C-alpha cells in the first residue's frame, strides 16, 4: 500500500482567507490521522496574476498558522515543460483542437437557451472544431493566438468503461460517476498562459503521488475533467474529499468573530493562530 499522501494546493493570486486556512488545516489533520504525508503545492501557472510577493506572503501566512508541510514545496511555474508534454500527448491522440474564438465571440454565439457548464458559462458551440483543416493550418502558421480545447465527444468515444471516482466527504466511500461531458469542449491550454489548471493539477497529483485530494466543494464538478485526463494520460486516480466551503453556512457564524478579512489582516490585528484554529474547529 502506498503512503497516504495529502496536499494543499493554493493559487497565490491574492491573500489567503479563512477558507484556505480551513482547507490547509483539514488536509494536515487528515494526513496526521492517516499516518501519512502532507505536501504543499503552489499553483502559480497564471504568472499574470500570481506574483512572487503573493507567494512569499502565502508561505508566511501558512507558517504563522503553524502548518507543517514536507519540503520541498512544488511550484508549478517551475514545471511548465511537463504540462506541455501532457498537452503534446493529448494532441498526438488527436483530442485537442485550436480555438481562435474570443470570449465575446462565444457569448455572441450563445443564445439564451444555450446549455451551460457547471459554472454557468455557455458551453462552447464547437465553432473551431468544425474549421476546415486548411484554414486551421494557415491560422496556426500565421501565429494567431489560440486556446486548445478537448474534443469531448471524441475523447469519450475512445473509452471502454465508465469514469468513476471515490468521494469520501459523506463519511463513507461513495463511487461517483464522472460526467466530463457536462463541460463540453473545455479549454485545456489557455490562450494567455499556454496551459491550464486542469492539466497542471492532474499531472502534479500524479507526480506527487497524491492518494487523497481534499479540497473545497466548488471543485467537485471539475473532478470529472481530472478523472478523464487521468484516463487519457494513464495516471492514477486519488480518492477525493470535497469539503464544505467556509464562506457559506460556517462562514456566517465565523464572520461575526473573524470576518472576511485575509489571514494577513487578522495577523496584523493581533488575532492569534490559536484563535483562527479554534474558530475553524481545529483545536
Residue nearer to ligand GLU on the CB measure, 151 or 250: 250
CA distance 242 to 170: 9
**Position 211 contacts ligand GLU (CB under 6 A):** no
Dihedral sign computed on CA atoms, order 21, 217, 194, 78: positive
Residues 9 and 197: beta-carbon distance below 8 Å: no
Sheet of strand 212-216: strand arrangement = 70-75, 37-42, 5-8, 212-216, 239-243, 164-167, 174-177
- Rounded to a whole number of angstroms, the minimum distance from the CB of residue 215 to ligand GLU is 4
Asked if 74 touches ligand GLU (CB under 6 A), the answer is no
> Pick from 101, 186, 188, 201: which binds ligand GLU (CB under 6 A)?
201
x/- mask, ligand GLU, residues 219-258, rule CB under 6 A, reads x---------------------------------------
- Report how many residues bind ligand GLU under the rule CB under 6 A: 7
148 versus 240: smaller Cβ distance to ligand GLU: 240
9 binds ligand GLU (CB under 6 A): yes
HSE on the CB side for 95, CA within 13 Å?
Answer: 25
Our finding on whether 10 is near ligand GLU (CB under 6 A) is yes
Position among 17, 37, 198, 215 found at the interface with ligand GLU (CB under 6 A)? 215
The CB-of-32 to ligand GLU minimum distance in angstroms stands at 19
Closest distance between ligand GLU and the C-beta of residue 8, in Å?
Answer: 7
C-alpha pair distances (Å), 227 with each of 138, 198, 208, 234, 283: 34, 10, 16, 10, 34
Alpha-carbon span 280 to 23, nearest angstrom: 10
**d(Cα 188, Cα 147) in Å, to the nearest integer?**
8
Binds ligand GLU by CB under 6 A, chosen from 27, 30, 43, 231: 43
Q: Which chain residues interact with ligand GLU by CB under 6 A?
A: 9-11, 43, 201, 215, 219
Amino acid at each position: 500500500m502506498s503512503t497516504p499522501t495529502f496536499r494543499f494546493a493554493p493559487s497565490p493570486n491574492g491573500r489567503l482567507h479563512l477558507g484556505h486556512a480551513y482547507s490547509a488545516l483539514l488536509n494536515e489533520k487528515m494526513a496526521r490521522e492517516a499516518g501519512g504525508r502532507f505536501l504543499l503545492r503552489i499553483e502559480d501557472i497564471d504568472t499574470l496574476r500570481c506574483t512572487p510577493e503573493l507567494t512569499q506572503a502565502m508561505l508566511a501566512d501558512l507558517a504563522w498558522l503553524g502548518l507543517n508541510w514536507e519540503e520541498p514545496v512544488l511550484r508549478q511555474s517551475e514545471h511548465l515543460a511537463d504540462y506541455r508534454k501532457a498537452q503534446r500527448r493529448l494532441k498526438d491522440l488527436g483530442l485537442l483542437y485550436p480555438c481562435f474564438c474570443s470570449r465575446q465571440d462565444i457569448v455572441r454565439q450563445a443564445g439564451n437557451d444555450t446549455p451551460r457548464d457547471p459554472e454557468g458559462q455557455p458551453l462552447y458551440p464547437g465553432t473551431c472544431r468544425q474549421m476546415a483543416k486548411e484554414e486551421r493550418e494557415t491560422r496556426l502558421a500565421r501565429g494567431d493566438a489560440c486556446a486548445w480545447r478537448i474534443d469531448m465527444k471524441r475523447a469519450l468515444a475512445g473509452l471502454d468503461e465508465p469514469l468513476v471516482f471515490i468521494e469520501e466527504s459523506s463519511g463513507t466511500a461513495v463511487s461517483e460517476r464522472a460526467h466530463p461531458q457536462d463541460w463540453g469542449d473545455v479549454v485545456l491550454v489557455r490562450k494567455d498562459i499556454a496551459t491550464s489548471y486542469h492539466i497542471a493539477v492532474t499531472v502534479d497529483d500524479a507526480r506527487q503521488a497524491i492518494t487523497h485530494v481534499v479540497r473545497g466543494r466548488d471543485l467537485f464538478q471539475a473532478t470529472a475533467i481530472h478523472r478523464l485526463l487521468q484516463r487519457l494520460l494513464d495516471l492514477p486516480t486519488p480518492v477525493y474529499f470535497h469539503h464544505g466551503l467556509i464562506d457559506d453556512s460556517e462562514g456566517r457564524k465565523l464572520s461575526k468573530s473573524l470576518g472576511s478579512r485575509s489571514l494577513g489582516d487578522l495577523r496584523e490585528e493581533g488575532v492569534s493562530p490559536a484563535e483562527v484554529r479554534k474558530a475553524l474547529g481545529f483545536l
